[in-house]
């Protein structure tokens, strides 16, 4: 699509198969970030490899904007419904941009509560840096699941982190909807040479800004 900046796609994939080396409750894993995770829920396995993915993007790729997208929690459909994906981010501008991009392209998005100082304690472990699942499932579990991923790049990381939980809107009955493709194209369209993507992108200038403002904001608008 004519993207002008460095754009990497990291696919966090693993076969969920039972075997002699399968994760068991009370196992402790050392993740790619170097942090240790006590397994208290073997069904909360996707976040383990997602945490490695964002850590890799940060450490090895040197990304300054990291967006992870996954069908992470069943609770997402309860939190934001079956038509809106959930967005969790450390940057208010990007939260608004995700919502606007969703409205522009039809892949709808609604924010989750981002409050690590109150919610990350759900992962407290006596034997590791954290557990992999929350202590209280009634305390915004979709937000907490995203915070687990963010913790592996660090809550003090100066870059932009965006988490999209798309568990519900990716399917309608037994069919896939293709949710997410249009959303990413719209969200990052400002870094594309495609005029249509430029038009729908909520980030950057869509051709109606003065030249001086475009030059002044060029660094702020860089996506990677």
pLDDT digits (tens, 9 = 90+) for 15-30: 777 888 888 999 999 9
Range with lowest mean pLDDT among 64-73, 100-109, 188-197: 188-197
For residue 219, name the pLDDT band (cuts at 50, 70, 90): very low
Helix H or strand E segment including 93: helix 92-105
Burial category of 106 from C-beta neighbours within 10 Å (exposed 0-12, middle 13-18, buried 19 and up): exposed
> How confident is the model over 141-197, as pLDDT tens digits?
999 999 999 999 999 999 999 999 999 999 999 999 999 999 999 999 999 999 999
pLDDT at 18: 81
Range with lowest mean pLDDT among 5-9, 53-57, 122-126: 5-9
- Single out the residue of 45, 59, 44, 37 nearest to residue 153, CA to CA: 59
Superfamily of domain 27-200: Zn peptidases (3.40.630.10)
* CA separation, residue 80 to residues 53, 54, 60, 132 (Å): 25, 24, 33, 23
- Counted residue by residue, the chain has a size of 224
Mean pLDDT, rounded, for 132-145: 97
Question: Taking a C-beta distance cutoff of 8 angstroms, is the pair 36, 28 a contact?
Answer: yes
* CA separation, residue 104 to residues 11, 39, 59, 85, 108 (Å): 26, 40, 33, 14, 9
The whole-angstrom separation of Cα 75 and Cα 98 is 20
Range with lowest mean pLDDT among 20-34, 41-55, 169-183, 196-210: 196-210
């Amino acid at each position: 699509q004519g993207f002008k900046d460095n754009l990497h796609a990291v696919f966090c994939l693993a076969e969920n198969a039972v075997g002699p080396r399968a994760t068991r409750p009370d196992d402790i894993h050392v993740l790619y970030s170097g942090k240790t995770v006590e397994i208290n829920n073997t069904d909360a396995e996707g976040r383990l490899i997602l945490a490695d993915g964002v850590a890799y993007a940060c450490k090895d790729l040197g990304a300054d904007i990291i967006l992870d997208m996954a069908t992470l929690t069943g609770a997402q459909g309860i939190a934001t419904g079956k038509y809106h994906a959930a967005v969790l981010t450390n940057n208010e501008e990007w939260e608004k941009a995700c919502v606007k991009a969703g409205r522009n392209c039809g892949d709808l998005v609604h924010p989750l509560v981002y409050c690590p100082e109150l919610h990350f304690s759900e992962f407290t472990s006596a034997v590791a840096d954290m557990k992999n699942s929350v202590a209280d499932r009634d305390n915004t579990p979709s937000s907490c699941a995203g915070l687990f991923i963010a913790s592996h790049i660090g809550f003090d990381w100066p870059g932009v982190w965006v988490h999209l939980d798309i568990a519900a809107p990716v399917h309608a009955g037994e069919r896939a909807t293709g949710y997410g493709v249009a959303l990413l194209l719209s969200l990052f369209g400002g870094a594309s040479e495609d005029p249509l993507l430029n038009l729908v992108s909520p980030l950057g200038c869509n051709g109606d800004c003065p030249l001086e403002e475009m030059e002044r904001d060029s660094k702020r608008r860089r996506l990677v």
